[in-house]
Amino acid sequence: MSYTLGQLCDFVGGVLHGDGLIKVDRLATIKLARANELTFVANPKYVAELDKTNAGGVLVKNQAQADKVSNAIIVENPYLAFAKLTALFNTVTSNWTGKHATATVAESAHIGRNVTIGPNVVIEENAVLEDNVVVSAGCVLGANVFIGRNTKLNANVTIYHSVIIGKDCIIHSGAVIGADGFGFAPEGQGWQKIHQLGSVEIGNKVEIGANTTIDRGAIEDTRIGNGVIIDNQVQIAHNVEIGDNTAIAGCAAIAGSTAIGQNCTISGGVGVIGHLEIADNVHITAMSLVSKSISVAGSYSSGTGLDNTDKWRRSAARLRRIDEMAKAIAQLEKQLNKLY
């Protein structure tokens, strides 16, 4: 697929610098880009690469950067413009509609127009698939599931019964939505299962990564807001609520009944314990443990940073003595106060 630089400029609403007739066949990184490829500079540390790049065109932020190359598109946000252009060069699309011969679809299911149902798909009773939905090979949709228009399920996604998924969503392979939450009551030396009576409700324009799990609620529903993006291998427990446009990176785990606000970022490997409330616009750095509610927007971290092993062990040993050290300091303060 090929476009002229001028066409790409119009698509992102930029200002053209140089030859608008240059042909662009694909996108590339600034270090490896060739004469038929378009790249971008979003991070200031890569501006120096403009003098060396072989790219046919570059998305840049200002005229000074554009003057370093022969052909450029000047935009306010080069990274956002690049993100929009990826849609034009994406070759992984479904080019057929209809139901594959090996798919099993209940007679009571309601299937909209231009729906794709791939090989070995199972769709159970009273499921609703709105127009332009894509259900790829091996997916299983339980009874009473609702899938909004233009949503795509990649191969081997499992959606349990009564889950509601909005429009324009993307769910990647291996994701499981609506499995039972981890609910058990202690009974003597064992456990009594608490049957999970709620479901999962997912908003519009949500993307869910591969092998991520979102558990159904115990009584009320687990809720994922509009525009939420969730990376691979994330665990979201029962009755969690996630506000609009929040982003959650890989291997994060959120325990039950925690409410996370809008426009938050949860970095990779973060653990959030249950029954907490996290305000809007909170940003939690990688590998942090959130053990109490956060009521004020801002960036939060926990844990100790990487260090040489011997030095880290010495620091860890001192941390174990921090309580007695605090008491010793308090005692010294008392003695000093007596002197003055």
123 with 236, same domain? Answer: yes
- The residue from 28, 62, 89 where one domain ends is 89
140 with 82, same domain? Answer: no
80 with 203, same domain? Answer: no
pLDDT at 269: 97
328 with 278, same domain? Answer: no
266 with 316, same domain? Answer: no
CA dihedral sign, ordered 119, 101, 170, 95: positive
**Continuous H helices in 63-106:** 63-66, 78-89
pLDDT at 338: 82
54 with 102, same domain? Answer: no
pLDDT at 304: 80
Burial 143-176 (b: 16+ CB within 10 A, else e): ebbbbbbbbbbbbbbbbbbbbbbbbbbbbbbbbb
**Continuous H helices in 158-243:** none
Calpha distance 322→308 (Å, rounded): 21
214: enclosing H helix or E strand: strand 213-215
- The residue from 41, 69, 89 where one domain ends is 89
Taking each helix axis from N to C end, the angle separating 322-339 and 309-320, rounded to the nearest 10 degrees, works out to 60
pLDDT at 9: 97
138 with 71, same domain? Answer: no
Structural domain containing residue 325: 309-339
pTM of the model: 0.90
294 with 317, same domain? Answer: no
Which CATH number goes with the domain that contains 164?
Answer: 2.160.10.10
pLDDT at 1: 82
pLDDT at 91: 81
- The residue from 36, 57, 89 where one domain ends is 89
DSSP assignment letter at 210:
T
102 with 190, same domain? Answer: yes
Type of residue at 143:
A
69 with 179, same domain? Answer: no
- For residue 86, is it left (φ>0), alpha (ψ between -120 and 50) or beta? alpha
Q: What does the pLDDT profile of the chain (340 residues) look like in tens digits?
A: 899 999 999 999 999 999 999 999 999 999 999 999 999 999 999 999 999 999 999 999 999 999 999 999 999 999 999 999 999 998 876 668 899 999 999 999 999 999 999 999 999 999 999 999 999 999 999 999 999 999 999 999 999 999 999 999 999 999 999 999 999 999 999 999 999 999 999 999 999 999 999 999 999 999 999 999 999 999 999 999 999 999 999 999 999 999 999 999 999 999 999 999 999 999 999 999 999 999 999 999 998 888 999 998 998 898 889 899 899 999 999 888 888 7
Active-site annotation, residues: 238
On whether the CB atoms of residues 9 and 24 are closer than 8 A, the answer is no
pLDDT at 93: 64
Calpha distance 261→330 (Å, rounded): 39
Which CATH number goes with the domain that contains 71?
Answer: 3.40.1390.10
126 with 271, same domain? Answer: yes
If one counts the domains in the chain, the total is: 3
